[in-house]
Chains A and B, each alone.
Chain A
Amino acid sequence: EPEVTQTPSHQVTQMGQEVILRCVPISNHLYFYWYRQILGQKVEFLVSFYNNEISEKSEIFDDQFSVERPDGSNFTLKIRSTKLEDSAMYFCASSEGPSVGSVKETQYFGPGTRLLVL
């Protein structure tokens, strides 16, 4: 069964450093998403991406964040200058189609990258 993969599974970094989180979405999916979940809190939407551009982003997704699809398979989230409060689990997800009531809208999640900023 196809699945979303993410690397690394864990990342420890110093405050102010840049990190890049990597995701390989399911191969025939066209819509990609990043979420974060701070320990003990709910899953929060960061950004959605389609056709090589951001389709929607949340208030959390400020100028220190960026996303990219550098090749045909990877989807990355870059945090330019990490803060302590960026410590969280980051999930990537993908779906076949947009969320307009079709079966293709289902989002499949990767196992996450646990980011710890010291």
Chain B
Amino acid sequence: RKEVEQDPGPFNVPEGATVAFNCTYSNSASQSFFWYRQDCRKEPKLLMSVYSSGNEDGRFTAQLNRASQYISLLIRDSKLSDSATYLCVVIPPGGFKTIFGAGTRLFVKA
């Protein structure tokens, strides 16, 4: 099983749609989880941290399910500018090594 696994997509959605991404991780003792977005040939940029209670930032909602070892990201009312690759990031125990998923590509079309 891969350390961090994501559906590669691509997801093609119209503007205004709701889209959800899932990510699974293998190390049940992992403590820290994030969603980053990466535009083509650019650096990853933090979208949001993921906490056990779930968290929301505007149109974005992240959830963590420790029992099933997965993280989700929900994007509501998709905008053209949401088109990017969404990276699931997990930090195992110890805290210094960071594991990226391969990313899920999203295309939002007018």
Please report A residues at the B interface, Cβ cutoff 8 Å: 31, 33, 35, 41-45, 48, 50, 55-56, 58, 89, 91, 98-101, 103, 105-112
Contacts and interface: CB of A to CB of B under 8 A. Distances in A.
B96 to A, nearest CB: 4
Contact of B32 (A48, A89, A99, A108): A99
Given A56-B96, A99-B91, A108-B46, 11 more contacts: A42-B103, A43-B38, A45-B97, A45-B99, A48-B97, A56-B94, A98-B96, A99-B96, A100-B31, A101-B31, A109-B43
Contacts, number: 63
B42 A45 contact: no
Nearest to B45: A109
Chain B interface SS verdict (over half):
loop
B44 A56 contact: no
Chain B: interface size category: 20 to 34
Contacts of B87: 42-43
B30 to A, nearest CB: 10
Interface of B: 31-32, 34, 38, 41-46, 49, 87, 91, 94-103
Contact of A111 (B43, B95, B102): B43
Given A43-B87, A99-B32, A111-B42, A56 B97 contact: yes
A110 B44 CA distance: 9
A48 B94 CA distance: 12
B97 A42 contact: no
Contacts of B43: 91, 109-112
Contacts of B49: 103, 105-106
A48 B102 CA distance: 20
A55 B95 CA distance: 9
B69 to A, nearest CB: 17
